[in-house]
Chain A
Amino acid sequence: AQTVTQSQPEMSVQEAETVTLSCTYDTSESDYYLFWYKQPPSRQMILVIRQEAYKQQNATENRFSVNFQKAAKSFSLKISDSQLGDAAMYFCAYRLMNRDDKIIFGKGTRLHILP
């Protein structure tokens, strides 16, 4: 069975600094997606970034980038130039490609931004 592990329940970062959130996963499949979702206090789930497992190049979205290590089954999220609006719960997630749509979420990391 696939599992997603986020070992950091909470993290804090100074505004304008860089922070990295960790995520590891376990799967025997070779084709899958990995995601980082953001859940702010409003609780609306927002897709931050997506990575296809077959792509070696790390995905980037403005200040957000990932470090995808397929062999190590690691998928960390780096947030550069942290802003107060980045404060939220961040969930790492996994989904098989070309199969059912079930998304498996990690337990989340709560990110605090210090002014």
Chain B
Amino acid sequence: GAVVSQHPSWVICKSGTSVKIECRSLDFQATTMFWYRQFPKQSLMLMATSNEGSKATYEQGVEKDKFLINHASLTLSTLTVTSAHPEDSSFYICSARDRKKSIAKNIQYFGAGTRLSVL
């Protein structure tokens, strides 16, 4: 099946620094990628939808300037947490949709997630 690679798997950073998380579709082209946030023992909350070559669409309550999303190619989307603070510590998961498959038939493939710890 299709593989989505997410890097890094775990990152620890100091408060005030920025952290970039990469999401790559390894064997398919992804027109659309999604970024989720998951707090401990909770469900996945969609943060934003990332479309290749255009601006991301953010969910209500998600700060655009805080969580910068770039989808510069059909195989790569990045999430940058700017000026990270301890409350940004969480598990971030990306998913990608195969552009060759119709919207009706597509399946989203998930990355393994990134654990962000802000000290």
Contacts and interface: CB of A to CB of B under 8 A. Distances in A.
Q: Do chains A and B interact in one complex?
A: yes
Interface of A: 42-47, 50, 91, 97-108
Contacts of A98: 103-104
Contact of A101 (B32, B93, B113): B32
Contact of B43 (A97, A99, A107): A107
Interface residues of B, number: 20
Given A43-B91, A45-B110, A97-B104, A102 B43 contact: no
6 contacts: A43-B113, A46-B110, A91-B43, A99-B103, A102-B46, A107-B43
**Chain B interface mostly helix, strand, loop or mixed?**
strand
A61 to B, nearest CB: 13
Contacts of A46: 110
B49 A101 contact: yes
Interface of B: 32, 34, 38, 42-44, 46, 49, 91, 93, 95, 97, 103-104, 106-108, 110, 112-113
Contacts of B93: 43, 45
B44 A42 contact: no
Contacts of B42: 107-108
Contact of B113 (A44, A97, A106, A107): A44
A104 B97 CA distance: 15
